[in-house]
Chain A
Amino acid sequence: DAKTTQPPSMDCAEGRAANLPCNHSTISGNEYVYWYRQIHSQGPQYIIHGLKNNETNEMASLIITEDRKSSTLILPHATLRDTAVYYCISTDEDYGGATNKLIFGTGTLLAVQP
């Protein structure tokens, strides 16, 4: 089962910031939080990941709460091409850290409106 929970859908106006929330209250201390997005009929695209510090790259920012129980992905200026399903994922310690098993849930469908 997915170890993260996300709202099933969100809307955002083009040019505005999109803030996608994720709860991961059972995440353990050494499990990373990853964000991917998937545009219809394509493979998931890696966006960003973090452990406990906030992270920023050319695509997005990741804000992780101090207790690590939740995080927010921020797309600073959403465009129509950002319309996709966004997955918040944690790794799985059951695999003993021997591989980066990603537990995918059903994600959030972000619809950017013109």
Chain B
Amino acid sequence: DGGITQSPKYLFRKEGQNVTLSCEQNLNHDAMYWYRQDPGQGLRLIYYSQIVNDFQKGDIAEGYSVSREKKESFPLTVTSAQKNPTAFYLCASSFGTGVTNQPQHFGDGTRLSIL
């Protein structure tokens, strides 16, 4: 089945540690996105990528890094510079760059907590 796979489902980070969240899609989508969701709030955009080897900062990129070496994959690294990393992280993908009528499809998220 086509879809977006995020792993792991739960992740724990120690203080000062970098962690990487995986996102893979087999929908042949060009664009991929990372969002963060805090309790009782909507989603906020961290980074997005419209094409392989290209990505742009979203609204809350500080303390995060990404790469887009393959069309199918868009991993997110939460660095030690992110002082409040505890959140629910969601990856999404969509067809179409340069158009605004293509829905994004989401994975089931990774819940990151600090030990």
Contacts and interface: CB of A to CB of B under 8 A. Distances in A.
Nearest to A2: B42
Nearest to B48: A99
Interface in A67-101: 87, 91, 97-101
A45 interface: yes
Interface string B27-48: 0000101010000111111001
A113 B21 CA distance: 37
Contacts of B40: 106
A58 to B, nearest CB: 14
A43 B103 CA distance: 14
Contact of A43 (B31, B44, B48, B107): B107
B107 A101 contact: no
A102 interface: yes
Contacts of A43: 4, 6, 90, 92, 106-109
What interface size band does chain A fall in?
20 to 34
A46 B103 contact: yes
A42 B97 contact: no
Contacts of A2: 42
24 contacts: A2-B42, A31-B100, A43-B90, A43-B106, A43-B108, A44-B43, A44-B90, A44-B106, A46-B104, A46-B106, A49-B101, A91-B100, A97-B98, A98-B97, A99-B31, A99-B33, A100-B94, A100-B99, A100-B103, A100-B104, A101-B48, A102-B43, A104-B43, A104-B44
